[in-house]
């Protein structure tokens, strides 16, 4: 569910997706429900009925405890380290923000699971992790794309002017996003513009590779047919004058 909410690739870790979506782990949610149930049962055993404000107070307290436990758990994640390290220092701000919805392309940039050479190479869709938009083909990572790659210089300039900082690390992007709706929009616009071009380039690469394979298959078929034709013995030529 969390991955669907953040519109991300299925390769994103459960911990990272849950944090981005603002969905606490189910076992922690279950603990809150169990504690609420136990208190209700205890009051009923004493012949009492909890007032709505009591129930609300319990829920507030237990959910506060849930967030403490959740944040502590995120200090030692099993996967998704980069995005968790970016969001965790702004844990409360991220969960309490009143604006911004994650898109497919923003999630790619925050998680690194998207049209980046490193990721595509890792899932065996690229032969190398190099950046296809740079002449010297350095490793194509989120950091390279957002902070360095000259192909996105103009988009980067607009982003820096809007958020008022040259720090474009993932943590800085998250900070700009939670700080204001304008900051969120600036980061989202950058991600949409850049990743849209990278996606188009990837589709073109896949198309060219498919055409190359079809061409190679055609050549192989022609060679096979030619070889077969040469290997078939010719029928003996008789004296047709006697027919």
Token pair for 195: 């990743």
Confidence of residue 240 (pLDDT cuts 50, 70, 90): very low
Given a cut of 90, whether residue 88 has pLDDT beyond it is: yes
Confidence of residue 189 (pLDDT cuts 50, 70, 90): very high
Give buried/exposed letters for 15-50 (b at 16+ CB in 10 A, else e). bbbbbbbebbbeebeebbeebeeeebeeeeeeeeeb
List pLDDT tens digits, range 41-77.
999 999 999 999 999 999 999 999 999 999 999 999 9
Asked whether 113 and 11 are in contact (CB, 8 A), the reply is yes
Confidence of residue 241 (pLDDT cuts 50, 70, 90): very low
pLDDT score recorded for residue 219: 58
Beta bridge partners of 130: 139
Given a cut of 90, whether residue 78 has pLDDT beyond it is: yes
Q: C-alpha distances in angstroms, 207 versus 119, 135, 202?
A: 19, 22, 9
pLDDT score recorded for residue 206: 83
CA–CA separation, 37 and 31 (whole Å): 10
pLDDT score recorded for residue 205: 84
Distant-in-sequence contacts of 197-206, Cβ < 8 A, 24+ apart? 197/151, 198/114, 198/115, 198/116, 198/133, 198/145, 199/115, 201/115, 201/132, 201/133, 202/115, 202/120, 205/132
Confidence of residue 207 (pLDDT cuts 50, 70, 90): confident
Confidence of residue 243 (pLDDT cuts 50, 70, 90): very low
pLDDT score recorded for residue 79: 94
Given a cut of 50, whether residue 175 has pLDDT beyond it is: yes
How much is the average pLDDT of 172-192?
Answer: 97
Beta bridge partners of 139: 130
pLDDT score recorded for residue 208: 80
pLDDT score recorded for residue 127: 92
- End-to-end, the C-alpha distance of the chain in Å comes to 83
pLDDT score recorded for residue 96: 96
For the entire predicted model, the pTM comes to: 0.82
pLDDT score recorded for residue 213: 64
How much is the average pLDDT of 114-121?
Answer: 96
Given a cut of 70, whether residue 228 has pLDDT beyond it is: no
């Amino acid at each position: 569910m969390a991955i669907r909410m953040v519109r991300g690739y299925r390769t994103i870790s459960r911990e990272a997706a849950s944090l981005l979506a603002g969905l606490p782990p189910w076992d922690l949610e279950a603990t809150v429900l169990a504690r609420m149930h136990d208190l209700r049962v205890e009051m009923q055993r004493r012949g009492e009925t909890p007032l709505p404000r009591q129930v609300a107070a319990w829920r507030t307290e237990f959910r506060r405890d849930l967030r403490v436990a959740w944040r502590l758990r995120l200090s030692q994640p099993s996967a998704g380290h980069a995005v968790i390290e970016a969001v965790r220092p702004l844990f409360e701000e991220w969960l309490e923000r009143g604006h911004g919805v994650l898109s497919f392309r923003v999630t790619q940039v925050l998680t690194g699971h998207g049209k980046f050479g490193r990721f595509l190479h890792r899932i065996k869709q690229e032969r190398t992790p190099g950046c296809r938009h740079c002449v010297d083909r350095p490793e194509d990572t989120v950091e390279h794309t957002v902070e360095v790659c000259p192909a996105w210089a103009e988009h980067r300039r607009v982003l820096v002017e809007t958020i008022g900082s040259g720090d474009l690390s993932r943590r800085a992007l998250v900070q700009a996003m939670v700080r204001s709706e304008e900051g969120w929009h600036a980061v989202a616009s950058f991600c949409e513009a850049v990743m849209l071009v990278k996606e188009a380039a990837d589709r073109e690469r896949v198309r060219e590779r498919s055409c190359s394979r079809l061409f190679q298959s055609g050549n192989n078929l022609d060679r096979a047919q030619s070889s077969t034709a040469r290997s078939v013995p010719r029928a003996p030529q008789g004296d047709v004058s006697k027919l």
